[in-house]
Structure 1
Amino acid sequence: MSQKTKIYHNPACGTSRNTLALIQNSGQEPEVIEYLKNPPSKNELIDLINKSGLSVREAIRKNVEPYENLQLEQTHWNDDQLLDFMIEYPILINRPFVVTELGVKLCRPSEIVLDILATPQLNPFAKEDGEVIIDENLQRVK
């Protein structure tokens, strides 16, 4: 049995909405985890980051208030401390993380999700800003 696709989603984020729409455009209805309401456990977060091939610092959102207030750019914070902050302040978790049977990716930009979708796109697709990702011949443009 194939693993159900999951997206750690923030509906207020355009990149996250575009990523979800690309998954749906492949005919899948993923499990949508609104991580700001239902944050992953520390072990789940470690697993997502490790499987995506990122460092903990690469998985942190930097342009949000807790990052600046806590001065997380300082190098004395270790990965374990940074993970604790990400659990305490889920807004620090970059998004969207997508989990499929083909792997885990932080989908920024959103078309990265195409690298881990097992099923092809069913229709042409343009992002909310009009940028074409899948053309009328169902070919990936980006």
Structure 2
Amino acid sequence: MITIFHHNRCTKSRSALAALENSGKAFEVVYYLETPPNKSELKEMISKLGIKPLELIRKGEKVFTENYKSKNLSDEEWIDVMIAHPILIERPIIISGNKAVIARSTEKINEILG
């Protein structure tokens, strides 16, 4: 099953959702601001993406620039920050099996859709 972590107010996220709808493949939509991933789900997502937690953070968000921009936190602490402020999680994220991508481009979406 394909899962998209989606934010309806984000243009890139809406584009990724449209691509999934047009693919004809079954998928699930998780509105991650309303139903944020828990710590273990977030760790699993980061592992599937093959990145460090800090790379999943939206650094242009006000909550980041005002509270965390100059902080040097551990991976575990960055995960806790995303749990506390899900708006900081980069979007959209599409997961299928053991693969995950930050689907901000058509190429990335196609990595999942094949």
**Once superposed, which parts of structure 1, at least 4 consecutive aligned residues long, lie more than 6 Å away?**
none
The structure with the largest alpha-carbon Rg is 1
Q: Which residue of 1 aligns with 2:105?
A: 109
SS at match of 1:48: helix
Tell me, yes or no, if structure 1 residue 47 matches structure 2 residue 44. Answer: yes
SS at match of 2:64: helix
Structure 2 counterpart of 1:36, which letter? L
Larger RCO, structure (CA 8 Å, separation 6 or more): 2
- Runs of 5+ in structure 2 lacking a partner? none
Tell me, yes or no, if structure 1 residue 80 matches structure 2 residue 85. Answer: no
Please give the alpha-carbon distance, in whole angstroms, between the structure 2 residues aligned to 1:83 and 1:73. Answer: 16
Deviations 1:86-118 (A, max 9, x none): 001100110111111361111122441111114
C-alpha RMSD of matched pairs (Å): 1.4
- Runs of 5+ in structure 1 lacking a partner? 119-142
Q: When you count helix as a share of all residues, which structure comes out higher?
A: 2
Q: Which residue of 2 aligns with 1:90?
A: 86
TM-score with structure 1 setting the length: 0.75
2:2 to 1, 5, 10: 5
TM-score with structure 2 setting the length: 0.92
